[in-house]
Structure 1
């Protein structure tokens, strides 16, 4: 299962606090089947895996959960306030 870093859990919790319509992030597979998108979400879709960690929720669609099963999601916020994510291999 995809693991989340403390950075990502803090980002998700802050988004949920600041924008009430957002309760989670959703990671989904794009039409090409290999690219992923990350977007704010207010609910899980039918085939989503729900990851809850340290008060943060991330929904991962079925295909993406297969691709990310052995990965860890990290993130950060740059000086302009843009959120950036990175994937790494779980230890």
Structure 2
């Protein structure tokens, strides 16, 4: 199952805190494209009925069905640049 670095957990929690309409929500990731290499990322209040939920240090990530298969053995990392832009990165576990 997807895991999160401490930096990713912090960024996800910060994004949710900045969106009070989804105060108990999470970051939703779904895979698109034929190979599942294009990801759609959004902030949402609740997971879709078929989503898997990953929690780490209070941060929630909702994975769409197609994303679960692609991200099963991956680690989600995140960073924020000087301008405040968030960038997510995905790496192999281990």
Q: Report the TM-score, using the length of structure 1 for normalisation.
A: 0.92
Contact 2:52–2:64 (Cα < 8 Å) also in 1: yes
What is the RMSD computed on CA atoms of the aligned residues? Answer: 1.0
Asked whether 1:14 is paired with 2:14, we answer: yes
Structure 1 consecutive aligned stretches of length 4 or more whose deviation exceeds 3 Å: none
Where in structure 1 are there 5+ consecutive unaligned residues?
none
Work out the CA distance in 2 between the residues paired with 1:38 and 1:66.
Answer: 16
| TM-score, structure 2 normalization | 0.89
- Give the alignment partner of residue 28 of structure 2, picking from 26, 32, 43: 26
**Distance across 2 between alignment mates of 1:63 and 1:39:** 15
Give the one of 62, 67, 70 matched to 2:65.
62
Unaligned runs of 5+ in 2: none
